[in-house]
Amino acid sequence: MTLSDKHLKTLGWLASLCAIAMYVSYIDQIRLNLSGAKGSLILPLVTMFNCILWISYGWLRDKKDFPIIMANVPGVVLGLICFVTAL
């Protein structure tokens, strides 16, 4: 099965929205961290580095891959905030 360019682009943006929803879930852990129920340091740190790698990949391609870039920017920001608040 081969997807048309239009369907593939739609799939990319849908996957990006799902990734953003996943990273937004860090907001609850940040809230818990700030209220004293500290969470793991490892997960947000690894998430942040993973997202930096994906952003680099999307940016450095010959044809920039904006769904990948946009999906991973919230992961860097929220991963960093979650990591810092868990210290």
Residue 53 lies in a domain: yes
Q: Which comes out higher in pLDDT, residue 72 or 2?
A: 72
Give 1: exposed, middle or buried? Use CB within 10 Å, 0-12, 13-18, 19+.
Answer: exposed
pLDDT digits (tens, 9 = 90+) for 34-69: 999 999 999 999 999 999 999 999 999 888 989 899
Report the candidate in 19, 26, 42, 20 with the shortest Cα–Cα distance to residue 82: 26
What confidence score (pLDDT) does residue 26 get? 92
3-state secondary structure of 23: helix
Count of Cβ atoms closer than 10 Å to residue 7 Cβ: 10
Give, as one character, the DSSP assignment of residue 36. T
H-helix or E-strand spanning residue 70: helix 66-86
Domain with 47 in it: 28-86
pLDDT digits (tens, 9 = 90+) for 2-23: 778 888 888 888 988 898 898 9
Residue 20 lies in a domain: no
Residue 11 lies in a domain: no
Residue 10 lies in a domain: no
Residue 45 lies in a domain: yes
